[in-house]
C-alpha cells in the first residue's frame, strides 16, 4: 500500500495502511488479510447518515421491507455504511406500526435504528409535513413510539416550545433516545431551556426554524453556541448557502457537525413525482419540492456528493469532513467503539475516494459493496 493516504479523524497519515481480517480492522497482517493498493487515493471511514428517509425509489416511511432494503443498498453504494431510517409525520398508530417494521431491520443489522421526524413539530415550520397530522408532543405518545421501536429508537425530532415539549425531551433523555430540536419556532431562550432539559441535536440546522436575527437570535444562535449540541447540515447546494455551512463549521469547530442527507426516495433514482408521507413531491433537476406550496421536501443527496462538495466547493479540510460524516455521528449514536474511524478492532467499513474525491470503492464489514477498480 505504498503511497496511500489514509485519513483518520486526527488527520491524514501518509503511506499508512488499513489491514482487514474478516469483518474487522486489525493491527496485524495475517495470511488471510485483505491488502488493497490505494496509491493516489484516500481511504476514509464508512459514512454514517443520521437522517435519511429513503432512496432508490423506496420510502422508509411507507415501503415494504424489500423496498426499504433496496433504499438502504442505494445509499451503501454511495458510501453510507451505517444509516438511521427516518420517518415523516403520520398518524400515531401508523407510525407505531412502521416502528415495529423498521425495528426488525435494525435487529438484523440493516439499519442503525429509527429517527422519528414529526408529528410533534410546529405548524409554523412544518416544511414537507402534513399540517393536519401535527400534534403537540404529549410524553405519553412519545413513549408509545419509543415502545413500538423495541429498543431501536435512536432520535426523535420535536418542536420543544410546544406544550409538553420539555417533558418529552426529559422522557427521551431518560430512555437514551436523542432529543433533536427541529421544525421549531422557538425563541433563543426557549431553545436554551430545551438544551438544559436534555436536547442534544439540531435537526438540519438553519432549515425549518427562524432565521438568525441581531435582536432576536432565535434557535440558531443557541444551537451553535452550546457544546452539547451536534448540528445536522444538508450540504447539497440547495438547503444551505456555502457561507451558512462555513458559519456552522466555524462555531461548532467541526467536532459538533454531522453531515446528513435528509434524502427521500428519489435519491439515486431520478426526477419525477413521489409521495413523502401523504404529500406529493415533484423532483426536478435533483431538487425535491412539494407540489402544493413549493416547500423543499427533503433532498436527493447521497453522502459521497456531500463529502466531495464539502472539500472541493466549500474548501473544508478533509479531516473536518471525515469527522462530520463518520466520527461525530458514530459518537452521537454511541457506536464509536465499532464505527467512525479506521482503528484496529473496529468494523471494516471503508470508503475509497480518488484524488478528485469521487467514490471508487465501498467496504462494509469486510465485504466490498462497491469493488474498487484500480488501474
Q: Which residues contact 93 (CB under 8 A, 6 or more apart)?
A: none
Mean pLDDT of all residues in 77-93: 97
Residues 190 and 285 in one domain: yes
* Residue 153 phi, psi (nearest 5): -75, 125
Grouping H, G, I as helix, E, B as strand and the rest as coil, residue 39 is strand
Mean of the pLDDT values across residues 3-29?
Answer: 74
Angle at 262 between CA 189 and CA 101, to 5 degrees: 105
26 and 135 belong to one structural domain: no
Where residue 236 sits, what CATH number does that domain have?
3.20.20.140
Cα–Cα distance for residue pair 46/190, rounded to 1 Å: 36
Asked whether residue 3 carries a pLDDT value surpassing 60, the answer given is no
Alpha helical stretches, state H, the chain = 65-76, 92-107, 139-148, 165-174, 188-197, 218-225, 242-252, 303-312, 318-322, 328-332
Residue 10's pLDDT band (cuts 50, 70, 90): low
Q: Report which of residues 375 and 108 the model is more confident about.
A: 108
Q: Is the pLDDT of residue 1 over 70?
A: no
Q: Say whether 150 counts as a known binding-site residue.
A: no
Confirm or deny that 215 is annotated as ligand binding. Answer: yes
Distance CA 151, CA 313 (A): 39
What pTM did the predictor assign? Answer: 0.95
> Which of 186-190, 206-210, 332-336, 353-357 comes out lowest in average pLDDT?
353-357
* 260-288 pLDDT per residue, tens: 999 999 999 989 999 888 899 999 999 99
- CATH code of 367's domain: 2.30.40.10
Catalytic residue among 262, 320, 347, 349: 262
Averaged pLDDT, 160-169: 98
Asked if residue 195 belongs to a known ligand binding site, the reply is no
Q: What is the mean pLDDT of residues 50-62?
A: 96
Provide the pLDDT confidence category of residue 375 given band limits of 50, 70 and 90: very low
Contact 342, 8 (CB under 8 A): yes
- The set of cell numbers assigned to 188 is 433563543
**pLDDT of amino acid 16:** 67
Are 322 and 367 part of one and the same domain?
no
pLDDT digits (tens, 9 = 90+) for 229-249: 999 999 999 999 999 999 999
Q: Average pLDDT in the 77-103 region?
A: 97
pLDDT at 180 over 90: yes
Full domain range(s) for residue 371: 1-45+340-375
Residue 96 in this model has a pLDDT that exceeds 80: yes
Query: What's the whole-number mean pLDDT along residues 334-348?
Result: 94
* 236 and 354 assigned to the same domain: no
Q: Are residues 278 and 372 in the same domain?
A: no
Same domain, 139 and 281: yes
User: Measured between alpha carbons, how far is 99 from 192 in angstroms, rounded to an integer?
Assistant: 30
pLDDT mean over 87-99: 97
SS3 370: strand
| Residue with cell string 436554551 | 192
% the chain with pLDDT above 90: 83
Q: Are strands 230-234 and 201-202 parallel, antiparallel or unpaired?
A: parallel
Residue-wise DSSP of 218-286: HHHHHHHH-TTPEEEEE-SSSSS-HHHHHHHHHHHTTTTEEEE--B-TTTTT-SEEEEETTEEEEEETT
286-314 residue pLDDT tens: 999 999 999 998 999 999 999 999 999 99
Q: Is 297 annotated as a binding residue?
A: yes
The pLDDT, as a whole number, for residue 168 is 98
Q: How confident is the model at residue 9 (pLDDT cuts 50, 70, 90)?
A: low
* pLDDT for residue 160: 98
| Residue 152 sits in the same domain as residue 179 | yes
Residue 204 marked as a ligand binder: yes
128 assigned ligand-binding residue: yes
Which grid coordinates are listed for 97?
406500526
Average pLDDT of the residues of the chain: 93
Return d(Cα 327, Cα 123) in angstroms, integer.
34
Could you tell me if 166 and 291 lie in one domain?
yes
Residues 313 and 233: their CA atoms lie apart, in Å, by: 15
Mark whether 209 and 333 lie in a shared domain. yes
**Ligand-binding site membership of 239 (annotated):** yes
- Domain match, 105 and 180 both: yes
- Residue 262 annotated as catalytic: yes
Q: Confirm whether residue 298 is marked as ligand binding.
A: yes
pLDDT of residue 217: 97
Shared domain for 182 and 226, answered yes or no, is yes
Banded model confidence at residue 253, pLDDT cuts 50, 70, 90: confident
How sure is the predictor about 2, in pLDDT bands with cuts at 50, 70 and 90?
Answer: very low
d(CA 353, CA 41) in angstroms, rounded, equals 6
Phi and psi angles of residue 117, each rounded to the nearest 5 degrees, phi first: -105, 100
Q: How far apart are CA 176 and CA 178, in angstroms?
A: 7
Cα–Cα distance, 320 to 352 (Å, whole number): 17
Question: SS3 for 136?
Answer: coil
Number of domains in the chain: 2
Using DSSP's 3-state secondary structure scheme, residue 9 falls into coil
Residues 371 and 325 occupy one common structural domain: no
How much is the average pLDDT of 21-38?
Answer: 81
Task: Check pLDDT > 80 for residue 38.
Answer: no
pLDDT at 303: 98
- Rounded mean pLDDT, 89-93: 96
* Number of neighbours of residue 54 by Cβ within 10 angstroms: 32
Amino acid at each position: 500500500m505504498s503511497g496511500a493516504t489514509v485519513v483518520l479523524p486526527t488527520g491524514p497519515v501518509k503511506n499508512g495502511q488499513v489491514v482487514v481480517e474478516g469483518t474487522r480492522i486489525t493491527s496485524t497482517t495475517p495470511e488471510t488479510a485483505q491488502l488493497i493498493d490505494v496509491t493516489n487515493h484516500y481511504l476514509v471511514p464508512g459514512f454514517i447518515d443520521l437522517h435519511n428517509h429513503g432512496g432508490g425509489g423506496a420510502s422508509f416511511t411507507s415501503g415494504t421491507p424489500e423496498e426499504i432494503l433496496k433504499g438502504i443498498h442505494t445509499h451503501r453504494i454511495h458510501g453510507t455504511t451505517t444509516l438511521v431510517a427516518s420517518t415523516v409525520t403520520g398518524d400515531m398508530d401508523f407510525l407505531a406500526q412502521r416502528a415495529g417494521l423498521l425495528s426488525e431491520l435494525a435487529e438484523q443489522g440493516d439499519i442503525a435504528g429509527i429517527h422519528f421526524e414529526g408529528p410533534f413539530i410546529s405548524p409554523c415550520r412544518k416544511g414537507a409535513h402534513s399540517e393536519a397530522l401535527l400534534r403537540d408532543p404529549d410524553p405519553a405518545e412519545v413513549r408509545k413510539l419509543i415502545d413500538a421501536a423495541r429498543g431501536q429508537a435512536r432520535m426523535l425530532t420535536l418542536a420543544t416550545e410546544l406544550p409538553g415539549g420539555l417533558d418529552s425531551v426529559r422522557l427521551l433523555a431518560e430512555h437514551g433516545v436523542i432529543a433533536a430540536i427541529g421544525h421549531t419556532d422557538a425563541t433563543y431562550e426557549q431553545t436554551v431551556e430545551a438544551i438544559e432539559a436534555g436536547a442534544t441535536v439540531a435537526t438540519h440546522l438553519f432549515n425549518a426554524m427562524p432565521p438568525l436575527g441581531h435582536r432576536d437570535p432565535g434557535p440558531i444562535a443557541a444551537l451553535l453556541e452550546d457544546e452539547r449540541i451536534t448540528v445536522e447540515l444538508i450540504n447539497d447546494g440547495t438547503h444551505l448557502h456555502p457561507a451558512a455551512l462555513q458559519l456552522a463549521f466555524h462555531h461548532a469547530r467541526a467536532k459538533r457537525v454531522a453531515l446528513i442527507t435528509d434524502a427521500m426516495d428519489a435519491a439515486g433514482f431520478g426526477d419525477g413525482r413521489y409521495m413523502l408521507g401523504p404529500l406529493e413531491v415533484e423532483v426536478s433537476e435533483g431538487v425535491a419540492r412539494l407540489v402544493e406550496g413549493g416547500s423543499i421536501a427533503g433532498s436527493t443527496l447521497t453522502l459521497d456528493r456531500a463529502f466531495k462538495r464539502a472539500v472541493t466547493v466549500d474548501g473544508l479540510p478533509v479531516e473536518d469532513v471525515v469527522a462530520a460524516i463518520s466520527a461525530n455521528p458514530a459518537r452521537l449514536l454511541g457506536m464509536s467503539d465499532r464505527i467512525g474511524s479506521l482503528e484496529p478492532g473496529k468494523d471494516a467499513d471503508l470508503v475509497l475516494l480518488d484524488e478528485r474525491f469521487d467514490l471508487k470503492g465501498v467496504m462494509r464489514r469486510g465485504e466490498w459493496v462497491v469493488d474498487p477498480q484500480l488501474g
